[in-house]
Amino acid sequence: MDRRNFLKYVTLAGSSFTLTSCIQGKNSKLQGEVSPSASPVAVNEPLKVGFVYAGPVGDFGWTYAHDLGRRDMEANLQDKVKTTFVENVNEGADAQKVIRQLALDGNKLIFTTSFGYMNPTIKVAKDFSDVVFEHCRGYKRAANVGTYLGRVEEPRYLTGMIAGKMTKSNIVGFIGAYPIPEVIRGISAFTQGVRLTNPQARVKVLWVQSWYDPDKEREAAQALVNLGADVLAQHTDSGAVVQLAQEKGIYAFGYNTDMSKFGQNAHLTSAINKWGKFYTDKALAVMSNTWKSQEVWDGIGQGMVDISPMNQEIPGDVQQLVNVKRDEFIQGTAHPFDGPVKDQKGVVRVPKGKVLDDQRQLAMDWYVEGIEGSIPKGKS
């Protein structure tokens, strides 16, 4: 990446984000498929693929997980792809400018990896019918825009099972980013797992209104410890929560990637996202002109999410329980929201013998029984 090309991105919306370009070797599906209008890639030319990141690639969380997926795609496809990523891109107007510039620069496949990139992605896609866009966390699609997300509710449930067994105070703390359905259902799935193994335990939630802010995450974690929590979980991106747990001699779960490096004793496991296969498959589909607009929402069985290796502090019988449930998720014989499921007020939201369907999960704006506190107004 020469200086002129780099400065082109930096001057789009200030100097808060960074662009990097690389050439490897040189430097379950939901319904709603739509045929794309994008054109095939020129023969013998690498497919140019752009990535837009909300945080720094070194956050060891959400952005880092996506960048690991980008690197996996490069390793799988070698010189068939040339990738570019832009990090620290604010959601909104900044994102629209960056996405547009990536399209203008000839990227024929662009991954936009944060919820707040949804409308900017749709707007830019209207002007570039020959470019394929994949938006993570969103729900708006078009002929050349697909969406994708992992069913992190499955590993969330498994970590909740562990939390229920490891807490002594029966108070488990959870640090949330923004109160959007994705985060709310993750907290609720976690709580379902907690209550499976420990019906007496309660989950207290604090919100930091940020995907990545180590100081705020640490502050929220400390506040939860002050409230009696001896196990912490997070839907935020830094290792600050695990670090604080290590200092306090309590337990914590990481998120997005294996965060054991931040607290070898405290870290029990992480609910992780695995994007490499998905990114590789989508690049191959664009190359072969077989890409279709889809709503992809895959779980452990499809290799998009999982848990990292469990800490041996977790008793063997608990690990066995978790592994059995994990296998049930893979086989499709269990669901994080198997009925009966009650909300905070004791109202049955999912009757026995039923599951919370995808449509209601994607719009989830209520807590399950066992969670203390209320959902604040937040992103929409």
Stretch 243-262: mean pLDDT = 98
The values of phi and psi at residue 178, to 5°, are -120, 145
Find the mean pLDDT for residues 358-377.
95
Rounded Cα distance between 84 and 100, Å, is 13
Nearest to 138 by CA among 266, 293, 265: 293
Mean predicted lDDT score pLDDT of the chain: 91
Residue 206 token pair? 């604090």
CA distance 185 to 198: 19
Separation of CA 331 from chain center:
22
- Look at the chain and count its residues: 380
Q: How confident is the model at residue 30 (pLDDT cuts 50, 70, 90)?
A: very low
pLDDT of 8 strictly over 90: no
| Confidence category of residue 1, pLDDT binned at 50, 70, 90 | very low
By three-state DSSP, how is residue 373 classified?
coil
Helix (H) or strand (E) holding 306: strand 305-307
